[in-house]
Amino acid sequence: MKVQSLIVALLLCASVLAAGQSQRFVTTDEVNEKLYLDLHQSPELSGHETRTAQKMADGLRALGFDVATGVGGTGVVGVMKNGPGPVVMVRTELDALPIVERTGLSYASKVKTLNDAGVEVGVMHACGHDAHMSSWMGTARLLAAKKSAWSGTLIMLGQPAEETVSGARRMLADGLYERFPKPTYVLALHDSADLPAGVVAYTAGVATSNADALDVTIYGRGGHGSRPDATIDPVVIAARVVLTLQTLVSREMNPWNPAVVTVGSIHGGTRYNIIPDEVHLQLTVRDYDAKVRQHLLDGIRRIVRAEAEAAGAEKMPKVEIAESATAVHNDVALTNRVMAALRERLGDSNVREQKPVTGSEDFSEFERDGVPVLQFNLGAVNPQVWSDATKSGKQLPGLHSSAFAPDRELTLKTGVTAETTAVLSLMGK
């Protein structure tokens, strides 16, 4: 039986779910949307996904999965063994971002909480993890409803702290591949603000960039703003550093080796007429090649130190890597196999190849010990809105924007269909 026939059978089997003892039946689409709305309105920050994790765990238990919680922090692992065959792990993320939502939606998040620094922040699923979780649970629901259509071991993994690129590493360190069946394949999807809903996209090979987040502290000698000659001004040193860092890409990189060095934060001083003792900068660095990555990191240290020495600083700057993620390498054979099934199911025009993106995350951690992985993208923009914007050149809200709002219904339908089809292409009988 072809994958398309299998997925149709699954959808028909689970097209209605009994709502308790009620005479009314609800479709799986309604169940997915209800979950999505709940998750959207109750987001939690990285490492604090207790309610979200509990909801995912409860949902999997109700479907018959053996569930473990607290893996690598708030991680959830659900295992369903269904005869011989491959072990397929499907991953979703649990966390949200410290952003005040400004979508204007009736179901917009109004959550505010204290972050790890004790500062009150808004919380929003501005990266679409609520759509990921809803599609993930819908996939689990369909596959659990008709186990006769597939064979093997299905692992549904809910990963915390993706936004801080630490959750996958923590789950693996907590014995993910030792305590549970080691996967033959790992799959994931990620919504996209650059694609219309109903479309999926993929990149075989390198799909995302390496990423390093750096904290830089520049030390000077503070004093009165009217007597700069009696100080060593770290603000001026920092300004020179920001400008000189741009030459790492513009003058030291081969144009065929894409790279990004961005200073996203700079803080120093307290008042107009006070030269501070130090200035703090935060950088993000993106690239696709290990040698390029090392050159950029070495270059940042070299430039920061050189500018401090040029200013006569008495104490050399401190450069620390706060977070890092390795580029995702989609296994080519796995990608081709799954995409063939998705083309059969969704149609050729709805499955598109795309270039690597400079975004990064920690899905690459699951490649450990040679496990093949595939992360593909899920269009999330209303098709008419996307078409109009493409024609006019209008810039639509992207991921991590306070105005990002997926086309809920079509995104979820496509997400469940695509993810289920991907699993069946590997496990279907």
Q: What is the pLDDT of residue 10?
A: 59
> CA–CA separation, 241 vs 309, rounded Å?
12
pLDDT band, very low/low/confident/very high, at 17 (cuts 50, 70, 90): very low
Q: What is the pLDDT of residue 28?
A: 67
> CA–CA separation, 110 vs 18, rounded Å?
32
Tell me how many degrees the CA angle 151-154-155 measures, rounded to the nearest 5. 170
Name the token pair of 165.
Answer: 């690129």
pLDDT band, very low/low/confident/very high, at 184 (cuts 50, 70, 90): very high
pLDDT band, very low/low/confident/very high, at 429 (cuts 50, 70, 90): confident
* Residue range 366-414, pLDDT digits in tens: 998 899 999 999 999 999 999 999 999 999 999 999 999 999 999 999 9
> CA–CA separation, 357 vs 202, rounded Å?
11
Q: How far is CA 162 from the centre of its chain?
A: 6
Name the token pair of 220.
Answer: 């000077």
**pTM passes above 0.85:** yes
> Domain coordinates of the chain in residue numbers?
3-208+327-427, 210-325
Name the token pair of 412.
Answer: 């979820």
Q: What is the pLDDT of residue 368?
A: 87
Q: How far is CA 217 from the centre of its chain?
A: 28
Name the token pair of 333.
Answer: 């054979």
Which of 335, 426, 328, 364 is closest to 88 using CA atoms? 426
At 39, which helix (H) or strand (E)? helix 28-41
User: With 80 as the cut, is the pLDDT of residue 4 above it?
Assistant: no
Give the Å distances, CA to CA, from 197 to 108, 200, 386: 20, 8, 9
The alpha carbons of the chain give a radius of gyration, in whole angstroms, of: 24
Helices (H) and strands (E) in the chain, counts: 11, 20
> CA–CA separation, 30 vs 8, rounded Å?
18
As to burial, measured by CB atoms within 10 angstroms (0-12 exposed, 13-18 middle, 19+ buried), residue 280 is: middle
Mean pLDDT in residue range 308-337: 97
Owner of token pair 């259509």: 149
* Residue range 99-151, pLDDT digits in tens: 999 999 999 999 999 999 999 999 999 999 999 999 999 999 999 999 999 99
Name the token pair of 1.
Answer: 């039986």
pLDDT band, very low/low/confident/very high, at 16 (cuts 50, 70, 90): very low
Amino acid present at 241: V
Write phi, then psi, for 103 (nearest 5 degrees).
-80, -25
Write phi, then psi, for 234 (nearest 5 degrees).
-70, -20
Q: 210-325 maps to which CATH number?
A: 3.30.70.360
Amino acid present at 422: A
* Residue range 360-377, pLDDT digits in tens: 999 999 998 899 999 999
> CA–CA separation, 17 vs 424, rounded Å?
21
Mean pLDDT in residue range 352-358: 94
Q: What is the pLDDT of residue 18?
A: 34
Mean pLDDT of the chain: 94
> CA–CA separation, 87 vs 152, rounded Å?
6
Q: CATH says 3-208+327-427 is which class?
A: alpha beta
Same fold, 3-208+327-427 and 210-325: no
